[in-house]
Structure 1
Amino acid sequence: MSQLHSFAMASRPSKKRKLTPPQSEDEEASSRSTVKAQKAFFKNASSWDLEQDYETKARKGKKKEKESTRLPIKLADGRVHQVHVPVEEAASVASDEDWLDGDDASEDEKSEDDEPAYMEPDIPEQQQILEAKEELARIALMLNETPEENSGAFRAIAKIGQSRIEAIQKLTLATQLAVYKDVIPGYRIRPAAENMAQEKLSKDVRSLRSYEQALVSGYQNYIKDLARHAKLGHKQQGAKSKGPSLANIAITCACTLLTTVPHFNFRSELLKILVSKLSKRIVDDDFNKCLRAIETLFQDDEEGRPAMEAVSLLSRMMRARDYRIDESVLNLFLHLRLLSEFSGKASKDRVDHDHAGPSSKRQKQEKKFRTKRDRKAMKEQKALQKDMDNADALVSHEERDRMQSETLKLVFATYFRILKARMPHLMGAVLEGLAKYSHLINQDFFGDLLEALKDLIRHSEEDEEEGEEDDNDYSSSSVRNPTREGLLCTVTAFALLAGQDAHNARADLHLDLSFFTTHLFQTLFPLSLHADLELGAKSLHLPDPDSSAPHPASSTARNRVNLHTTTVLLIRCLTSILIPPWNIRSVPPLRLAAFTKQLMTASLHMPEKSTQAVLALLADVGGTHGRKISALWNTEERKGDGMFNPMSDSVEASNPFATTVWEGEILRKHYCPKVREGVKIVEKAMVHGR
């Protein structure tokens, strides 16, 4: 038994150790690539956003992804080999393994997907412009024919304008302007309600609302594009390009929309584009276009709200710029239509309305008895009329008066701030505006304005003599003229008094305009020697070659406020003093005689037309007050003792009746026949005057 066991042990083969077969070159390369991929995986894992990538990943069909169910295979040499899924099936598997060995493939796919976006340079630019023209014309034709059925065309036109070619952008802006001018309705579209989808509406009404919202959305994006291009105006002006720049076209489109469809939505955004351009220092064609557009808006405004919005934006812009603006911007207030139709009185912070008392009594007297049925019918009729007025966009008188009041307060507040700050280049515009709207100024505000005008006259000559330099941007181009400023202040003061109830104003406020009368009397001789007395803002003349200054101080070439010549301003001042329209009989004889003698002396030195104007004024004075001053033409009727002092500090202290008018004998020999004839008319009026 033991021998049998030993034989069996001897015949059993010896146990062999299992050795790992050597790796092939392919397996070594795959293992190295796996290690590199794992390193890259852990390195980039912190920057993944798997949720976002899963959300944006395209989903194909509703089939569920299946995992591989194939079992591994054991090879003859003992190795276990995993059967891989075919390439077509692996492409549809979404797992983290795609990020390991798919980086290069994803970059290739991204580059292939991005290639169509950069295919534009492959087509010649002229060909792209031609194709854009045809496409824009086709879309615009569809919108003009059936806009309700092609609401998506607004977005299609805007998409064409996203091209990087400037010519295509210009064509798109011009096409959108023509389209919106044609399709914009005559009413303002309200914003869509939040529960619009839950409302029960008919198919036609729902389709119309959808079209209106598409129109408003496209129009809003268009205005944003205009604002963006207009802001880039300075950068585009540096580049040399043929024709108008993109900023020029954008401003032109904004001006056209403001004047043609001011009732539609986003009017404030259009006004902001124009006001932003008016705040710049450069006065160019675009600047003038914005001025003309706002002038047209003011003149054609019958509602009141557009003008109020424009004045509010302009006043805020002026305050932000510290009134360092061009003079023509402030002159826009002179074109306000509604201020000439306003019936109340206003100041910078208060408005007094004229309340008609008798109308309420008349309504009480005309009240009649009505039955319950009649009152119910009248109530329904009023409600129906209110709805009709809202549909027609009519503005009630109360609402219109309120908007006019706000506009008037803004205008007067702006004028008063500039007057207090004494901005040199804006004084003419302020005085002209105050003179025009004098009938709308409250009496409480009237006294403050007169004090400001007196202060301006006192300091104008002092600032000119001291050569005070203002760090105003327009100080170099704007020349101060104290003589003209004094005349404007005098005209404004008497225009303010003429616009009020003169008797009540004098009694309540104790107003005294003798300061302006004395100032004008003292400046008559310097004015008669003024070289540019008859030159206006648009007159062409050569500068004085003997003047040391590059620009003559008395030049009116830069004056864009009051186009009247200095002679016209002088005649207006003298008319208000000698023949006041509010009380023609209240002028004292000493004042009449002093001004008459002074004017006859000054007419000897004036140019031809100015002399004719002065003589015509004196003829009117003689026809009204001839008996009071006829003694000046007769030596035997001299009433005064002493000597006449034309340089007196006051008009009454000049002793005018101590002299005679001898200048008429010289004017009879004037070279101009009209002057000679004017002297005869004056003498005749003085003799036969009332």
Structure 2
Amino acid sequence: MRGHIRRRKRKLDEEATEYERRYKRSSAFDSDPPSLKVRPLLPIKSKSGVLIQQFREEDVATDEEKDIEDEEPVKSTSENADVPIPMNIQQIKSEIAKICSNVVNDPQNHVKELKKLLAMLWETKPYRTCLIIRKLAMASLTCVFIDIIPGYRIRQLTEEERSVKLSKEVKSLVEFEERLLKHYQNFLSSLEKVVTNDYTKKSKLSKQEQKEMTVLGVKSLCELYEKTTHFNFHQNIAVVLLPIANSNNKVISEMCCTAIRNLFRSDKNGLTSLSTVKVLAKLVREGCASKKGVRPSIVETFLSLHINHVDFESMSKDSKRMTAKEKKKAAEEKKKLSRAQKKYLKRKEQLQSELKETEAIESRETKVKYHTETIQQVFLVYFRILKHKKGQVLHKRLLNTVLQGLSQFAHLINIDFFSDLVLVLQKLVTSGDLNFKQNLYCIFTTFKVLSGQGEALNIDPSEFYKYLYATLTDVVYISVGPLNSRKKDGVVKSNELELVMECLNIMLDKRRKQVTLNRLQAFVKRICAVSMNVHPGSTANSMLTIAAKLLQSNSKTSGLFDPESQVKGIYLPELEDPEHSGSTSTCLWELHALRRHFCPDVQNQSLRILKDSSSL
């Protein structure tokens, strides 16, 4: 039995001898070369059940060899010199992505990591990648803040509230809100420095790189301005961003104006639009006083406002005087009340305010109030530009936009300003300083004002009828070539045809009771004559459609189809006054010529008018 144990032990010793020697040789590091490193591996079990340890020898570079390897890229050619840079950028990208994912997934516990991204905004080393690092950090911070910002406005705690003991959950939430607000404020201040180029002294960027950073900073501010209207510092963003819209850089200006338009379209309450319009009104006022002026795109942003209802009583002067008297009377009556009555009224007001808050819906009165103040600011800007001196360049640049805005919001203008506004527009039309499109906007705005509340006013718009009748032949040049010497802007654009159609509709069809027969027949005759000379068939068809509508509006126009019923006289088409052109002494022979027009739609429309004339 003892011999069997000795033989088995000797056999195991022989099997393990080779591995023990290898282990001893590896442990004796004095005899091994310095470039070899022994790495232990997982043991294996032999057939006899013995665990045998394994090792692997690896080459390890010395410190001198590492230094040589680090210096090799620097000594390499120019083609290989940029090889380490993408690796560094990838590391930075992965680090930024890790921080952003941590903050977005768990903002309350990882909001501290935003400090690292804020530090990257002013990174200066390495020089060749600092611009990319700044851009990545700025874009990432913008997206992160938009994602983690809560849907409410954070209120700073008072000293009394800080002294109160809070639970762990509430305390952690308060700390998170304070840190978030602090980091967000630091980020906005950094964006302001980037946009206003306050960092140029400390920065090592070139002018082109600074421009790229400025564009990205403006883009970040625009994103925050659109999507954080409910959060803190939104008014501060507006104060910084809106003046940049008047920049000479078209890209930056267009970005800011687009952000303003999107905010006007998405604003449901009206308070944000009101604050924005106030800042823009101040910007226009300062621009009118300076030589720099204002870009038309800034004034065009008002066209994106969705305002349909306003309080005309609060806009009128008489109502303001009455409310002032009522306030004095109410104050006097309030003094006569007893203490119990005063407490009752105060408690009643508090309950009403609490009920409005529990409804979680903005009352219609508040919305109308904001819209009323907003439209007052818009009209203040428009009237200031209209009163500007005609000889200056600012008046000509902004007048087209102002007239377009007045035509869009004409139904919201207070009746107290109707007479003055019509006189101003009439002077602009008769002065001859405006182009064809601007005159059309003046005409359309005037008749839109007179078609609503202005119907009660005694205003004679005959000058506008004369101008449109005299210039109606200019429609021929919409697609043929330049306008005549009366116009200064060259070619008429396609949207001017739509303006002409709208003016004819609102002047002759909607005001058919105020239009005389001579004026109506003169316009119908002129429209048919223009239809013969316009080149596109669609334009001629649209003109004939309006003529057919006007003929159906008054049965007395049948004299244009019956030569025997015509009044004796001579038709004078060259006169600019439709009342004295002798339109009752002519007939619509143009319709018979249009029956052979090259466009089938025009042929059918002219035949339809001739058939319908028998029923007049």
| Coarse TM-score class (shorter-chain normalised) | 0.7 to 0.9
1:465-524 CA-partner distances (Å, limit 9, x unpaired): xxxxxxxxxxxxxxxx6222221211111112223262xx23xxx112111111111212
Check if 1:601 corresponds to 2:573. Answer: no
The 5 Å alignment of 1:519-538 reads: 519-525=467-473, 527-530=474-477, 533-534=478-479
1:534–1:267 distance in 2 versus 1, CA, 3 Å: farther
Task: Mark the CA change 1:411 to 1:228 in structure 2 (over 3 Å): closer, same or farther.
Answer: same
Do the aligned residues in 1 keep the contact of 2:316 with 2:414 (CA within 8 Å)? Answer: no
Q: Distance in 2 between matches of 1:484 and 1:183?
A: 48
Counterparts in 2 of 1:552 and 1:501: CA distance versus 1, 3 Å: closer
Aligned to 1:97: none
> What residue number does 1:178 align with?
143
Distance, in Å, in 1 between the alignment partners of 2:475 and 2:408 is: 27
In structure 2, the residue matched to 1:55 is: none
Between the aligned partners of 1:392 and 1:214, the Cα distance in structure 2 is: 31
Contact 1:255–1:290 (Cα < 8 Å) also in 2? yes
Amino acid corresponding to residue 493 of structure 1 in structure 2? T
Per the TM alignment, residue 148 of structure 1 is displaced from its structure 2 partner at its CA by 2.0
Q: Match of 1:554, SS?
A: coil
Cα distance 1:171–1:610, how it changes in 2: closer, same or farther (>3 A)?
Answer: same
Q: Residue in 2 aligned with 1:553?
A: 489
Pick closer, same or farther for the CA change 1:556–1:648 going to 2, 3 Å: closer
Q: How far apart are 1:350 and its partner, in Å?
A: 9.2
Aligned length: 498
1:312 matched residue in structure 2? 278
> In the alignment, does 2:592 pair up with 1:636?
no
Q: CA deviation at 1:287?
A: 2.7
1:573 aligns with 2:538: no
Name 2:269's counterpart in structure 1.
303
Partner of 1:162: 122
Contact 1:635–1:660 (Cα < 8 Å) also in 2: yes
Q: SS in structure 1 opposite 2:110?
A: coil
Partner of 2:217: 250
2:146–2:227 CA contact under 8 A, matched in 1: yes
1:678 aligned residue (580, 605, 608):
605
Decide which of 353, 364, 370 is 1:403's aligned counterpart: 370
Shift of 1:134: 3.8
Give the whole-Å Cα distance in 1 for the aligned partners of 2:91 and 2:442.
63
Instruction: Note the aligned Cα RMSD (angstroms).
Output: 3.7
Q: 1:495 aligns with which of 435, 441, 448?
A: 448
1:513, 1:238 → 2: CA distance?
61
Aligned to 1:468: none
Structure 1 partner of 2:424: 452
- Tell me the equivalent position of 2:296: 327
- The aligned counterpart of 1:433 is 405
Could you give the per-residue CA deviations for residues 300-342 of structure 1, whole angstroms, max 9, x where no partner exists? 11121110111111111122122823322211111112x1243
Letter in 1 for 2:594: L
2:267 is the alignment partner of 1:340: no
Identify which range, 200-209 or 408-417, moves more after superposition: 200-209
Distance 1:282 1:238, change over 3 A: farther
Query: For residues 639-665 of structure 1, what are the alpha-carbon distances to aligned partners after superposition, in whole Å with 9 as ceiling and x for unaligned?
Result: 2x3322223353222221122222223
Unaligned segments of structure 1, at least 5 residues: 1-123, 356-375, 464-480, 536-542, 558-563
| 2:411 alignment partner AA | H
Instruction: Give me the whole-angstrom Cα distance separating, in 1, the residues matched to 2:198 and 2:590.
Output: 62
Partner of residue 242 from structure 2, selected from 272, 275, 295: 275
Structure 1 residue 385: Cα displacement: 7.8
Q: For the structure 1 residues 318 and 346, does the alpha-carbon distance in structure 2 shift closer, same or farther, using more than 3 Å as the test?
A: farther
Match of 2:341 in 1: none
* Counterpart amino acid of residue 506 in structure 2: S
Compute the displacement of 1:683 (Å). 2.0
Does 1:511 find its partner at 2:459?
yes
Give the TM-score normalised by structure 1. 0.65
Kept after mapping to 2: 8 A contact 1:528/1:606: yes
1:485 lines up with 2:438 in the alignment: yes
Correspondence for 1:623: 552
Rounded to whole Å, the distance in 2 between the matches of 1:320 and 1:381 is 45
Residue in 2 aligned with 1:293?
Answer: 259
Please show how residues 251-266 of structure 1 align to structure 2 within 5 Å. Answer: 251-266=218-233
5 Å-filtered alignment, 1:131-146, equals: 131-146=91-106
Structure 2 partner of 1:663: 590
Which residue identity lines up with residue 554 of structure 1 in the other structure? G
Partner of 2:3: none
Counterpart contact for 1:638–1:657, Cα < 8 Å:
yes
State the one-letter code of the partner of 1:630: S
Deviation at 1:386, TM superposition (A): 4.4
Q: State yes or no: 1:187 paired with 2:187.
A: no
For 2:250 and 2:213, locate their aligned partners in 1 and report how far apart those are by CA, in whole Å.
18
Q: Letter of the 1:455 partner, please give it.
A: K
| Aligned position for 1:148 | 108
In 2, the alpha carbon distance for the partners of 1:485 and 1:170 equals: 44
**Secondary structure in structure 2 of the residue aligned to 1:620:** helix
**1:335–1:348: structure 2 CA closer, same or farther, 3 Å change rule?**
farther
For residues 442 and 584 of structure 1, the distance between their equivalents in structure 2, rounded to whole angstroms, comes to 25
Tell whether 2:578 aligns with 1:651.
Answer: yes
Deviation at 1:146, TM superposition (A): 2.6
Instruction: Give secondary structure in 2 for the equivalent of 1:245.
Output: helix
Kindly state the Cα deviation for residue 458 of structure 1 after the two structures are TM-superposed. 2.0
- CA distance in structure 2 between the partners assigned to 1:528 and 1:397 by the alignment: 45
1:381 CA displacement: 11
Matched letter for residue 301 of structure 1: D
Q: Which amino acid is the alignment partner of residue 638 of structure 1?
A: Q
The whole-number CA distance in structure 1 between the counterparts of 2:271 and 2:461 is: 38
State how far apart, in whole Å, the 2-side matches of 1:570 and 1:520 are. 9
Q: State the AA in 2 paired with 1:142.
A: N
2:310/2:369 contact within 8 Å kept: no
Q: Which residue of 1 aligns with 2:190?
A: 225
Letter in 1 for 2:302: F
Q: In structure 1, what is the Cα distance between the partners aligned to 2:582 and 2:426? A: 26
Which has the higher mean CA deviation after the structures are superposed, 309-318 or 200-209?
Answer: 200-209
1:187, CA displacement in angstroms? 0.3
Cα deviations by residue, 1:235-292 (Å, 9 ceiling, x for unpaired): 89974459x92122212211212222211111122223431221112312x3322222
In structure 1, give the amino acid aligned to 2:131: E
Amino acid at match of 2:577: S
Question: 1:632, 1:321 → 2: CA distance?
Answer: 54
Say whether the 8 Å CA contact 1:603–1:614 is kept in structure 2: yes
Shift of 1:383: 5.9
Compared CA separation, residues 350 and 176, structure 1 to 2 (3 A)? farther
Q: Quick check: which one's helix share is greater?
A: 2
Q: How big is the shift at 1:387? A: 4.5
Give the Cα–Cα distance (whole angstroms) in 2 for the partners of residues 586 and 292 of structure 1.
42
Residues 648, 654 of structure 1: 8 Å contact kept: yes
* 1:280 aligned partner, one-letter code: S
Tell me how far apart the structure 2 counterparts of residues 388 and 429 of structure 1 sit (CA, whole Å): 43
Q: Is the 8 A contact 1:348 1:413 kept in 2?
A: no
